[in-house]
Amino acid sequence: MTHHAVLAICYTAALLGWWALARSRRDLWPAGAATVFARPWRELLLGFVAVLAILGLGQLYQHDIKLPVAQGGWSAVLAETANQLLIYSPVLWLVVLRRQPGSTLLVPGDHLPLRIGFGFGLGIAAAVTYVLLRPGAPGPIAALAAVFAPANVKHLAQVTMEDLTIAMLAVRATAALGAGWRVPVLVGVLFAAGHVPAMLGNGVALAGMASLLLDAALAVGVIRLLLLGRDVTWFFGLHFAMDMTQYLAPA
């Protein structure tokens, strides 16, 4: 099976695992009400402004305007981690300057170690499933050592901040557009549409975009579950582990 196909299986199994646990552990994921803003469309607009600021900082990074990074060692890892945090910092500044609680980023105020720990448990299980299903991939122990290598903390920082950014927009879009499937489907459609020009530019035919449709469907499911649980923190570990599998090339 291809990388995308195995990834879809692992994500689907992990998302179902979270859903099953969430139904049995209402103390961790109670059915809370959606966040309400006095002026939701203004908050959504400010959310897009924060995203534009992130894109601008990302362009500075691409043009080598960033914290200096050493050639190797922990100093390089920490500097790159700091760069990723700086790039995505507008999403945190938005909440701080607007004096809004962590719930507006889908970060609950309680049981955080349990929520985050469960997410990393899902990530470990998903990574092991990935290597078992992917022909030629390294063994489970070697794969986990590669995925959770300390040097990958820079990738964890990037993934975590990406998830917080998505959660920030999803919360504000839900407040403006209403709960249900509207926002998840909209995110999935925008996700797919945003990748089509680049794929066509790289010579990918329309018939070869099945993987993109699969990714869009997964995006719909992820956003829906994040909003249902009012929590993005459990997704950090899973998202990180699945992202790192791209480096586990079959032998």
Residue 169 to residue 183: CA distance in whole angstroms: 10
For the chain, what's the residue count? 251
In a domain, 199, yes or no: yes
In a domain, 99, yes or no: yes
Residue 92: the pLDDT is 97
Residue 111 to residue 109: CA distance in whole angstroms: 7
In a domain, 95, yes or no: yes
Give Cβ neighbours of residue 83 (< 8 Å, ≥ 6 apart): 61, 66, 67, 69
Residue 94: the pLDDT is 97
Residue 5: the pLDDT is 86
Residue 109: the pLDDT is 86
User: For residues 183 and 158, is the Cβ–Cβ distance under 8 A?
Assistant: no
For the chain, what is the domain count? Answer: 1
In a domain, 159, yes or no: yes
Residue 199: the pLDDT is 59
Q: In whole angstroms, what separates CA 180 from the centre of its chain?
A: 20
Residue 122 vs residues 19, 21, 136, 152: alpha-carbon distances, Å? 12, 11, 23, 18
In a domain, 245, yes or no: no
Residue 164 vs residues 69, 88, 90, 207, 231: alpha-carbon distances, Å? 25, 9, 11, 33, 10
Burial status of residue 210 (CB atoms within 10 A of its CB: 0-12, 13-18, 19 or more)? exposed
User: For residues 166 and 223, is the Cβ–Cβ distance under 8 A?
Assistant: yes
- Tell me, letter by letter, the H, E, C secondary structure of the chain: CCHHHHHHHHHHHHHHHHHHHHHHCCCCCCCCCCCCCCCHHHHHHHHHHHHHHHHHHHHHHHCCCCCCCCCCCHHHHHHHHHHHHHHCHHHHHHHHHCCCCHHHHCCCCCCHHHHHHHHHHHHHHHHHHHHHHCCCCCCHHHHHHHHCCHHHHHHHHHHHHHHHHHHHHHHHHHHHHCCCCHHHHHHHHHHHHHHHHHHHHCCCCHHHCHHHHHHHHHHHHHHHHHHHHCCCCCHHHHHHHHHHHHHCCCC
In a domain, 28, yes or no: no
The encoded tokens of residue 39 equal 């002026």
The encoded tokens of residue 78 equal 């920490």
Residue 92 vs residues 30, 87, 119, 167, 212: alpha-carbon distances, Å? 25, 11, 22, 12, 30
In a domain, 79, yes or no: yes
Q: One digit per residue, pLDDT tens: the chain, 251 residues?
A: 788 889 999 999 999 999 999 988 888 888 777 899 999 999 999 999 999 999 999 999 989 888 887 677 788 899 999 999 999 999 999 999 999 999 999 999 889 999 999 999 999 999 999 999 988 888 899 999 999 999 999 999 999 999 999 999 999 999 999 988 999 998 888 777 665 655 565 666 555 566 777 888 888 999 999 999 999 999 999 999 999 998 886 54
Q: Which domain holds residue 198?
A: 36-116+155-233
Residue 203: the pLDDT is 63
